[in-house]
Structure formats: structure tokens, C-alpha cells
Amino acid sequence: EVQLVESGGGLVQPGGSLRLSCAASGFTFNNYWMHWLRQAPGKGLVWVSGINGDGSSTSYADSVKGRFTFSRDNAKDTLYLQMSSLRAEDTAVYYCARGPVFDSWGQGTLVTVSS
Amino acid sequence: QSVLTQPPSASGTPGQRVTISCAGSSSNIGSNIVNWYQQLPGTAPKLLMHINNQRPSGVPDRFSGSKSGTSASLAISGLQSEDEADYYCAAWDDSLNGWVFGGGTKLTVL
């Protein structure tokens, strides 16, 4: 059974940094593109970033480009989202999901950016 | 404002058929596949339909998808109370080089 478990969310001040993790199991991790998506409170889904199977290629939404870095450790079957220069508008539940069609999602981790 | 346009709400009574639309452009729906996601209250989204009209294992055949030009739609027949959820369409956008979503449609079963 495919499982994705996010962690690392919490409260951070504007301008601060946070690193999210997503532990994967139940499938051959390095065969898949993986993605981060987010959902602000009461709002819709937004794609944040994607990474290919060996970690050599990443893509980002314009809203996070230059501030967020997506990486993966295939030896640990784990994804990482390093977020810096955080803004209030980054407040959201962050989900990791399996590509190419987001067929499996984690339960999400809440990031709150507030002073 | 989302790149893909969905009606904010839809409703129907048990047993009815409802359709949710998703309008895009030539750079997204017009040239790429459309996926649909169901999000039950308080839960993570779930893939409901992919490659325009393919149901993942476990999704009832009451759900169907279609695409024409730069628009897509999700149809739910034999509406049930457990279908009450938010529904989102998504597609890759060649101009933005990223995935884009609709704003979501809240389905209410009356």
C-alpha cells in the first residue's frame, strides 16, 4: 500500500524558514516524479513544486520560485521542501503527492506564517 | 483567481445526475490531459479521474469524465449523500510550466 507521511509543519514568523519532509513507502520511490501542493485555509488546491525520480530536475510555481527548494533522498525514500523568506500568504496545509497524476496523497502538514 | 474555471457550487438530490464543468485554455486543457480530485470534508484530496475519463481502481462507475477542446466536465450519476465533497479539476499548463487547478466546486446533496 502506498503511504506518504508529511512532517515538519508549524508556526514560523514572516521571513523565517522551515523544512518539510515526506516519508514514502509501499512503492519503488525512485521511479516516480513527486510533488508538493498546498491548500490555504478555506481555499483551493495549488501546485507548488515537482521533482523527477533521480532528483536531477525540479520545477516550481512562480509564487515560490527562488524561496523554496525541493529535494529528495532516494536512499531514505524521503522528500524535503526547504522553505525560506516565508510570507503570510504561504500559510497552508502542505501535501506531498505521487506523480504523474497525483494518485496518492499524504495527510498534509500545516504551515502557519504569522508574527 | 484560478487558471481553470469551475462553478463554486453545485447541488442535486439523491439519485440525480449532476455535472461539474472546468474551463481552461489552449495551453492547458486544450493540449493536455485533465484529472479530477475529490476532497471529502477534513481529508486529503483523492484522485477521482485521470487522463480525462479513466477511473482509478475503486472509483464507482457513477463517475465519468469528458473533455472537448478547452473544457472538461465531471458527471456524477445516481447521486449519493457520500458524494458531498469538493471537486477539483487539474491540468498541466505549457505556458506556465506547471500544474494548474480549478478553484473547486462544492457539491451539496440536498
- The segments of chain B whose pLDDT lies below 70 read none
- pLDDT tens digits for range B69-85: 999 999 999 999 999 99
Query: A59 contacts in B (CB within 8 Å)?
Result: 97-98
pLDDT at res. B108: 97
Q: Model confidence at A95, in pLDDT bands (50, 70, 90)?
A: very high
Q: Contact B44/A105, CB-based, under 8 Å?
A: yes
Exposure b/e, B78-97, CB count within 10 A at least 16 = b? ebeeebebbbbbbbbbeeee
**DSSP E strand boundaries for chain A:** 3-7, 10-12, 18-25, 34-39, 45-51, 58-60, 68-73, 78-83, 92-98, 109-113
Upper half-sphere CA count for residue A84 (Cβ side, 13 Å):
7
Q: Is B40 on the interface with A (CB under 8 A)?
A: no
Q: How far apart are CA A66 and CA B48, in angstroms?
A: 33
- pLDDT tens digits for range A32-47: 999 999 999 999 999 9
For strands B85-93 and B34-39, give the pairing. Answer: antiparallel
Could you give the 3-state DSSP secondary structure of residue A45? strand
**Type of residue numbered A12:** V
> Residue A62: pLDDT above 90?
yes
pLDDT at res. A96: 98
